[in-house]
Amino acid sequence: MANAVMGSKNKMWGQHLVLDLSGCPKEKISDGENILAWGRELVKAIDMVAYGKPQLEHFATHKTETAGYTFVQLIETSNICAHFAENLGEVYIDIFSCRDFDEQKALEVTKQFFQPEIARIKNFNRGETFQENLYGSRNYQGFAVDDVLFEGQSDYQKVSILQNKELGRVLTLDNIIQTTQNDEFTYHEMIAHVPIMSLPHAPEHVLIVGGGDGGCLREALKYPTLKRADMVEIDQMVVDQCVKHMPTLNNAGAIYKDSRANLLIQDAFKFMKDTTEKYDAIIVDSTDPFGAAEALFGLEFYQMCQRALKPGGTISTQNGVPFFQAAELAQTSAFWRQLGLLGQCYLATVPTYYGGSMALGFGVNAKEFKLPTLEQLEARMQEYKLDMRHYTPQLHLAAFALPKWVQEIMAGNANAIRKAA
C-alpha cells in the first residue's frame, strides 16, 4: 500500500528552503565575520526579524571532512541554520519560516557571500505536498497540493481529489495517483480506442471494467454505431465525486444520461462471473493489483473476459509501467498465452505516470489476428467522425513497436530490465 504526505483543507503554514553549496573558496566559508555578515544580510533579504544574537561555533577540528563553523539564528517565525565544511568547500543551509519569503533573494545573497561553483536549491511548502510510494520509498513521484477538493473513505478505499496548478485536478485512490485533469486524455484515448479501432467490424457492445472517473466511457460513446456500453465500477463515491470535481472527464455527468450508457455499481469480478452478455471490446481500466482490484489481474478473471468476448473481440488492460512493474506485465502475458488470447501489449506515454511508458495489454479472441493497416484506420476515423486530442492512426500502429526489453518481459523474463544493472 502506498504512503502519502499531503495537505489538508486547513492550510499548514511553513516554507522550508534548503541550499547546498559546493566549490566555495575556503577563505569565504572559514571566516567567522563573513558568515555573521551573511546572516545579517540574509535576514534583511528575506524580510524577517532576527531575535537574539546569532550562535556561531567552530566544530570538529579533529575531523577533516566535517570541520567548520555552525551558524544558528532565530528569526521572526523560526530559524536559519547552516554548517560550513571548510575543508570540503561545502555549505549546508536550512531556512525555515512560517511566513513565506523570496527564495531567490536568499540564494542571491548567499552566493554573493560564499561564491560557490555550484548552488542547489530545494523549496518545500510544509503540509502542501503529495508523495506517492507505489514503487517503494526509494522511487516515488509527487506534486504540490494547492487545494484539497475532496477526501473520503468509501467501503473500498480512500478517495481524494486534489488541485495542482500544472496537473489540474488529481484523483488518488488509497494514495495512488489514478488520473489528472490535464493529461488524462493521453491515457483514456489509448486504452479505449486501440481495442475498438482494431475491430474488423463496427463496435456495438462495449464493456468497461472500473473507470469510475468516466474517461473510458466518454471515449466509447464517441462511436455512432455503439448500441450499449456497460460500465462496471465498484465504488459509487468515485463516480459521484468525479462528476462533481472532475467534470471534464465525464462531461459533467452527461455520459451517464446517454441512453447507450449502462452504469452498474458492483464488483466487476462477480459481474463477469454471472454475465451472459457478449462484447465486441472489453476495456479493463482498473487500479493497480491491490485490494479489491487484485482479482482483476488473475487467470480466472481473464478466462471470464474471454468467455464474454465475441469471436474476434478485443480486450485492453492497464498493466502498469514495465520499468517498475515488469512482473505484472509478464504475468498477464503468460495468462493470455495460456488462454490463447493472442496476447500482446502496446505502449502509451502518460506524463502523470512516473517511470516511463505505460504498458497496455491487448488481446484478441481469435486464432489469428493482424493489426489494421494505416489506410483502414484512417478510413474508420473518417467513417466514425472521431475527434481526438492524442490518438492517431499512426500512433495506433507505432504503439505496438516494443523495445527489446519489453518484448523479453512479455516472453516471461520479468528481470529483463535489470540485466545491465
Rg of the chain over CA atoms, in angstroms?
Answer: 27
Residues 6+ apart with CB under 8 A from 275: 308
Grid cell of 359 as nine digits: 504498458
**How far is 411 from 416, CA to CA, in rounded Å?**
10
- Which single residue is written with the C-alpha cell 476495456? 283
Active site residue 387: no
Neighbour-count burial of 125, counting CB atoms closer than 10 A to its CB (0-12 exposed, 13-18 middle, 19+ buried): middle
Choose, from 174, 230, 285, 288, the residue flagged as catalytic. Answer: 285
β 344-348/358-364 pair status: antiparallel
Neighbour-count burial of 93, counting CB atoms closer than 10 A to its CB (0-12 exposed, 13-18 middle, 19+ buried): buried
- The answer to whether the CB of 39 falls within 8 A of the CB of 53 is no
Give the number of other CB atoms < 10 A from CB of residue 392.
15
**How far is 310 from 291, CA to CA, in rounded Å?**
30
Give me the amino acid identity at 99.
R
Q: Which residues are the active-site residues?
A: 285
